[in-house]
Amino acid sequence: MTEPVVENPDDVPAGERQIFDSTACVRAVSAALDNNDIRSAAALVRDLSAPDFADVLELLDPEDRAPLIQSVGKSLDFDVLSELDETVRDQVSEELPNEFLAKAVAELDSDDAAYLIENLEESDREEILEQVPSSDRAALQRNLEYPEETAGRLMLSDFVAVAPFWTVGQVIDYMRETEDLPHTFSEIFVVDPKHRMVGALSLSRLLRSQRGVKVEDIMDRDLHTVRATEDQEEVAREFQRHDLMSAPVVDDSDRLVGVVTVDDVVDVIQDEAEEDMKALAGIGDETLADSVAETLKSRAPWLVVNLATAILASWVIALFDATIEQMVALAVLMPIVASMGGNAGTQTMTVTVRALATNKIGRVNAPRIVTREALVGLANGFIFALIMSTVVYIWFGSDTLGLVIAAAMVINMIAAGVAGILIPLAMDYLELDPAPASGVFVTTVTDVVGFFAFLGLAALFLL
């Protein structure tokens, strides 16, 4: 087996760089670890970028991750820990010694450091914080004080703030001479003596201005601040709405306490979209790194609810058992009516849940959207009613049966469209997450309405 060549990306001309093959690297690393050759395994990953190294770690066996990280030595880029999937990161944090985690916390940005240790035991977290320099410790503790999934937990505590009466020259000299500034930043915040925001200044505007110009004369006063307690999903919407690259974070006293940058917001958008997708399938916030027990705990509750609703649909069928016995064709055609309604309801529900997540639907436009979905259901019903009545007539030679299934199709498609939007809206009104619950109830409505309409009409007009 040929081992992948690991090169430092900075030493390779841009035109000659190749896409990283994580599978080949994992195989080589696993082979070295199987032979207890930890040094060779470390050599294979030592020069990988943080995202590539994180990919390798996630594909390795759990017991190999922490030893491999430690074996890399002083050249380890601690950013690899922040690139890991949350479940994997928590597992690795539990296995790494506190001394090692303290070094990582001191090197990482405050938001990434908070994610690294937030789920550790209280005693371990305190021991790690005691080993961190006081300035870093204060910033990290400030992040940890805020609830999860808020701007305060997401923000960077390192930023550049200057007074409005400073000149451009003073700001430039300050940035050149001060050592503890952020490694990268694109915006300078302007604050008053109480550390409250009065403006912001982009680096491009600063560098194009004369040294003697005052900051207050060139700063941007149109501020887009976010509260430290604001939900990260709302922060992401603000970034999207105003095309922001960064946003200052203020506390309840309007004092500047941090900054949220677009790279973190991109992660939030991805995480929230993935969370909604999983919730629609009723699987919770699980990952591939979860154990069997954790996965079962995530999936089983909604399967129990689904079982109960399936029994309800079966009970409706049982009400017409005599009708079905007299005409076998009904048993053949029943699943078609229910399936078409279920799929149509899922389409509407998916659009509605996403619209709720992005604040695109509310009391103002909800009636119009509900009416639209009912009309779409009606139109779909007529289209597929025509198709199915023709198929049934050719298949079974009964025009009455064709009319029955056509009518049932129209009824169920309308019910699917209305249920697909009203159920998520009702869940949201009750302050319940519409994503995990809506699918089960929409399916129940389409099954019950579909079976009842089809079998009920059949009992009236065929027997």
HSE, CB side, 13 Å, CA atoms: give it for residue 333.
Answer: 26
Lowest-confidence segment of 47-56, 93-102, 128-137, 402-411 by average pLDDT: 128-137
Delimit the CATH 1.25.60.10 region(s) of the chain.
9-154
Average pLDDT, the chain: 86
How far is residue 253's CA from residue 272's CA, in Å, rounded to a whole number? 29
Give helix then strand counts, H and E, for the chain. 22, 6
Lowest-confidence segment of 14-28, 30-44, 113-127 by average pLDDT: 14-28
Delimit the CATH 3.10.580.10 region(s) of the chain.
161-262
Section 31-44 average pLDDT: 91
- Exposed/middle/buried for 17, CB within 10 Å: 0-12, 13-18, 19+? exposed
pLDDT exceeds cutoff 60 at 52: yes
pLDDT recorded at residue 140? 86
pLDDT exceeds cutoff 60 at 27: yes
Q: Order of strands across the sheet with 197-202?
A: 161-162, 187-191, 197-202
How far is residue 192's CA from residue 195's CA, in Å, rounded to a whole number? 5
CB 68 within 8 A of CB 29: yes
pLDDT recorded at residue 271? 77
161-262 folds as CBS-domain (3.10.580)
Section 70-81 average pLDDT: 89
Please give the model's pTM, rounded to 2 decimal places.
0.65
pLDDT exceeds cutoff 70 at 389: yes
pLDDT recorded at residue 198? 94
Confidence band for 15, pLDDT divided at 50, 70 and 90: very low
How far is residue 137's CA from residue 162's CA, in Å, rounded to a whole number? 23
CB 284 within 8 A of CB 274: no
pLDDT recorded at residue 2? 41
How far is residue 408's CA from residue 463's CA, in Å, rounded to a whole number? 16
How far is residue 300's CA from residue 296's CA, in Å, rounded to a whole number? 6
CA proximity to 410, closest of 391, 441, 392, 386: 386
* pLDDT per residue as tens digits for the range 127-138: 998 988 887 788
How far is residue 450's CA from residue 129's CA, in Å, rounded to a whole number? 60
pLDDT recorded at residue 217? 95
Delimit the CATH 1.10.357.20 region(s) of the chain.
292-461
Section 401-411 average pLDDT: 94
pLDDT recorded at residue 416? 94
Confidence band for 394, pLDDT divided at 50, 70 and 90: very high
Q: Between 86-95 and 62-71, two packed helices, what is the crossing angle to 10 degrees?
A: 70
pLDDT recorded at residue 85? 86
pLDDT recorded at residue 8? 47
Lowest-confidence segment of 15-19, 103-107, 347-351, 352-356 by average pLDDT: 15-19
pLDDT exceeds cutoff 60 at 1: no
The two three-digit tokens of residue 152, written as one number: 């305060």
292-461 folds as Tetracycline Repressor; domain 2 (1.10.357)
Confidence band for 119, pLDDT divided at 50, 70 and 90: confident
Residue 42 DSSP code: H
SS3 string of 449-463?
Answer: HHHHHHHHHHHHHCC
pLDDT exceeds cutoff 60 at 321: yes
9-154 folds as MgtE N-terminal fold (1.25.60)
Confidence band for 199, pLDDT divided at 50, 70 and 90: very high
E strand or H helix at 248: strand 246-250
* pLDDT per residue as tens digits for the range 251-289: 988 999 999 988 888 888 887 777 777 666 666 666 666
Could you give phi then psi for residue 421, rounded to 5 degrees? -105, -35
pLDDT recorded at residue 12? 47
CB atoms within 10 A of CB 90: 17
* pLDDT per residue as tens digits for the range 131-187: 888 877 888 888 888 888 899 998 988 899 999 999 999 999 999 998 888 888 889
